[in-house]
Structure 1
Amino acid sequence: MPGLIRGVARTAVVAGTATAVSNRVSRRQAGRWAQQDDAQQQQYAQQQPAAPPPAPAPAAPAAPSMDSKIDQLKELAGLKEQGVLTEAEFEAQKARILAS
């Protein structure tokens, strides 16, 4: 009986040691793979071209000349006299034209 217990105990020690070593190797490999993945991701990020610069804003349209403003105001007055525009619409469009 003592020989049987000794054999079982030896088997348990060997199995426990094998499990501990196996776990340690697995953790070490996982750490190495993680480092390699990080290094590859950094290299990939460095190789990617930078985003293109944003397109320049479109140029603002040239301010209408005073003559064109006067012409537009005359058109508005004509539309108002014909009854196409209400007084409020006329005033709103006139303010828009004069503000430009």
Structure 2
Amino acid sequence: MPGLIRGVARTAVVAGTATAVSNRVTRRQQGRWAEQQSYEAPPAQPAHQAEPPAAPAASDMTSKIEQLKQLGELKSQGVLTEAEFEEQKRTILGS
């Protein structure tokens, strides 16, 4: 019986050590991956700072309509606020 208890205790020690090592390796890898992603990923920009569509060079009505459609899509997606939408719309129609 003492041999059986010794065997069970040894197995428990080995399993506990393996678990501890495995957890440490996992934490280390996650830290390295997070560090690597911070180097690779460009800094996120808030959605409200999206670039407005450029004003057309010529007074081409088709171009203005396309820009207004894009503005409408940005507003419906929540990228532009109502005030930003109105300001950009005036800019497009005024040019």
Q: TM-score range by the shorter chain?
A: 0.3 to 0.5
* TM-score, normalised via structure 2 length: 0.43
Name the larger-Rg structure. 1
Q: Which has the higher contact order (CA 8 A, sep 6+)?
A: 2
